[in-house]
Amino acid sequence: MSNYRNLNLLFTFLLLMVALSTVAAPPKREFYEIKIYHLKNADQEARVEAFLKDAYVPAAHRAGIKNVGVFKPVKTDTMAGKLIYVLTPLKSLDQLLTLPKTLDKDAAYTSAGKDYIDANYKNAPYARFESIILQAFTDAPVLTKPALTGPKSERVYELRSYEGHTEKIYQNKVKMFNAGGEVPLFKRLGFNAVFYGEVIAGSHMPNLMYMTTFDNKASRDAHWKSFSEDAEWNKLKVNPEYQNNVSKNTSFYLYPTEYSDI
């Protein structure tokens, strides 16, 4: 009887340890690819959009990637009609390498994307594309779909890039977001951030990027006004530990296409 009781206690203890380890384990940090298509004309824009809508996004879903974002510059931007942004969340860098092979084996993808995939060299569907690879912040390890209700065509998604003077100084800005508290500050003020990421490969380094989202431009402006007036931010921005840690701050104003998951 004593042995039976001891086995029960041991079993209960093991179950408790498993439960605690499951609860305590933080989510693994995702990776993101931001692919930016550069377009020459409206025909290329239409062809890339057809490929993304009918081939790439559905195939990514079949490959287990639920949330693919497709964005275009807002209508008032001088780059409107010239760029398309594609945000693909990835579980690992290995998935980044294997995804093209997975897509190539998808018959529905190759069929729906034939115009893009098999385009003649004299009639390419785009001028060029660039690719940025990021790893999610420790304090924002996974992508979050924005809780917005307004029409997609009116939304403003602000993609921000903060470049640093050196690698060490750039890491100080990353620390400011994580340990310093910028990530929870944005959350408290309702910025509907999609992701925060450290750029690990790209044309402008060292830098970090993040995306905040708003129902419209008026909402965007009101949120940033509240941010600039927030007591916590005004205390954080003068903290001696976090001074002079950004050499260039660039914002890109986008809106999601109707077929974007995000």
Query: What is the domain partition of the chain in residue ranges?
Result: 31-256
- Tell me the Cα Rg of the chain: 22
Q: What mean pLDDT is predicted for residues 98-105?
A: 97
- 23-40, pLDDT tens digit by residue? 566 789 999 999 999 999
| C-alpha–C-alpha distance, residues 213 and 224, integer Å | 11
Written out in words, the top-level CATH class of the domain with range 31-256 is alpha beta
In angstroms, the Cα distances linking 69 to 34, 44, 106, 186, 221 are 9, 19, 20, 21, 23
Is the per-residue pLDDT at 157 higher than 60?
yes
DSSP assignment of 127-188: SEEEEEEEEE-TTS-S-------S-GGG-EEEEEEEE-SSHHHHHHHHHHHTTTSHHHHHHH
Position 34 scores a pLDDT of 98
Residues 42-64: tens digit of each pLDDT: 999 999 999 999 999 999 999 99
Spell out the residues 6+ positions from residue 141 whose beta carbon is closer than 8 angstroms to its own. 26, 27, 28, 29, 30
For residues 196 and 178, the answer to whether their CB atoms sit within 8 Å is no
Span 191-209, pLDDT tens digits: 999 999 999 999 999 999 9
Helix or strand (DSSP H, E) at 13: helix 2-24
Per the prediction, the chain carries an average pLDDT of 93
Question: CA 251 to CA 259: how far, in whole Å?
Answer: 23
